[in-house]
Amino acid sequence: MNDVQQQDRKLFTQEMLRPGRLFLTLVPLFVLWLIRQPFLDEFGLFGFTLVAGLILLASLWTAFTASVKRRFINKRYEALWIGCKDRLERFDDVLTKMRREQVADLHDMPRTIRRVGESLYYALRRADYIANEVQRTEQGVLASPPAWQSPSEDPQAKELYRIADKNIAEYRAQFAGVMAGVHRAEAQCAVYMTTLDSLRMKMIGYRLVGRGPEMSSHDFLEALGEAKLQLNAIDQALDELDFTQMPKMIAAMPPPIPEELTHLQQGQ
């Protein structure tokens, strides 16, 4: 969560320091300062402070709204979050009607749904950032790794090529490991949205049909329990998406020489 909030603050600072926004903020303040004396005579210190504060608040608000629009880098992850938020709003609407009509008294379920939704938001933000970084730095490398044919019969050259092939395999494994967390975040959003869709229709049917034979109270409570289990499963899986546990320092130690190369060098 802290890494996402840090990114939000960075975006807000960037928006505040945009030349156009600074110009539109400082120029009115400068003009207000130039006419401060007649303005003070007419409206007093309170009016002067109020106008200056409104100019600053308008600048802060426009910078904040602009930074919110930039929080997602990839439109795919923004669309996923919009879908989750839409399902949550629809669920709240149905829940409000059920409470108003005193059809059922639900307490834990809404809290669980909102908590999982908030966790999904932060997971999507991290997945969006990681996918963008991987795309920016690794574009074209995974699909087109270095290729070569060893024209030399030199045993050391052959061994070096073997090590290079091993490094390519390790690179692909590391790439798959990083992207696995991103793909899990996407899949969890799909489960979250479809679970809320199913749960919402169950609630609507229970509210409209009542306790008739078409949907009994037992079936409704069983559906709630099943949906809650699915949401808890998402919540537990989100713990695997903690991308912040990265090493702060890497020891500058030379890589170990493979045993095969040691034998080759001794043979020389």
pLDDT at 268 (0 to 100)? 47
Asked if pLDDT for residue 243 goes beyond 60, the answer is no
Task: Say if residues 24 and 59 touch (Cβ distance below 8 Å).
Answer: yes
Q: Is residue 250 part of a domain?
A: no
Same domain assignment for residues 78 and 122: yes
Question: What is the number of domains present in the chain?
Answer: 2
Q: How many CB atoms lie within 10 A of CB 16?
A: 17
Asked if pLDDT for residue 84 goes beyond 80, the answer is yes
Q: Which residue has the tokens 């030199």?
A: 154
Same domain assignment for residues 18 and 131: no
pLDDT at 233 (0 to 100)? 77
Burial class for 146, CB neighbours closer than 10 Å (0-12, 13-18, 19+): exposed
Task: Say if residues 237 and 119 touch (Cβ distance below 8 Å).
Answer: no
Q: Is residue 26 part of a domain?
A: yes
pLDDT at 96 (0 to 100)? 83
pLDDT at 153 (0 to 100)? 75
Q: What is the pLDDT of residues 18-39, one digit of tens each?
A: 999 889 889 988 888 888 888 7
pLDDT at 104 (0 to 100)? 59
Same domain assignment for residues 134 and 219: yes
Amino acid at 220: F
Q: Is residue 36 part of a domain?
A: yes
Same domain assignment for residues 62 and 88: no
Same domain assignment for residues 45 and 119: no
Same domain assignment for residues 53 and 185: no
Confidence of residue 254 (pLDDT cuts 50, 70, 90): very low
Share of the chain above pLDDT 70, in %: 78
Cα 99 from Cα 101, distance rounded (Å): 5
Whole domain around residue 63: which residue ranges?
1-71
Q: Is residue 85 part of a domain?
A: yes
pLDDT at 241 (0 to 100)? 59
Q: What is the pLDDT of residues 56-78, one digit of tens each?
A: 999 999 999 998 888 888 888 99
Task: Say if residues 151 and 181 touch (Cβ distance below 8 Å).
Answer: no
Q: Among residues 20, 51, 71, which one ends one of the domains?
A: 71
Same domain assignment for residues 172 and 190: yes
Mean pLDDT of 82-105: 81
pLDDT at 214 (0 to 100)? 52
Helix and strand numbers (H, E) in the chain are 8, 0
pLDDT at 247 (0 to 100)? 43
pLDDT at 86 (0 to 100)? 92
pLDDT at 64 (0 to 100)? 92
Confidence of residue 261 (pLDDT cuts 50, 70, 90): very low
Greatest mean pLDDT among 91-105, 156-170, 216-230, 245-259:
156-170
Q: Among residues 71, 92, 112, which one ends one of the domains?
A: 71
Q: Is residue 266 part of a domain?
A: no
Same domain assignment for residues 133 and 197: yes
Q: Is residue 104 part of a domain?
A: yes
Cα 232 from Cα 119, distance rounded (Å): 12
Q: Is residue 259 part of a domain?
A: no
DSSP state of 254: P
Locate 197 and state its tokens. 């869709």
Same domain assignment for residues 82 and 26: no
Confidence of residue 249 (pLDDT cuts 50, 70, 90): very low
Confidence of residue 103 (pLDDT cuts 50, 70, 90): low
Residue 135 vs residue 238, higher pLDDT: 135
Amino acid at 185: A
Cα 25 from Cα 56, distance rounded (Å): 7
Secondary structure of 137-167 in HEC code, one letter for each residue: HHCCCCCCCCCCCCCCCCHHHHHHHHHHHHH
Q: Is residue 100 part of a domain?
A: yes
Rounded to the nearest integer, the mean pLDDT of the chain is 79
Task: Say if residues 227 and 199 touch (Cβ distance below 8 Å).
Answer: yes
Q: How far is CA 16 from the centre of its chain?
A: 23
Same domain assignment for residues 164 and 43: no
Mean pLDDT of 102-106: 62
pLDDT at 83 (0 to 100)? 92
Give the N- to C-terminal CA distance of the chain in Å, as an integer: 56
Same domain assignment for residues 21 and 80: no
pLDDT at 139 (0 to 100)? 77
pLDDT at 58 (0 to 100)? 92
Same domain assignment for residues 53 and 95: no
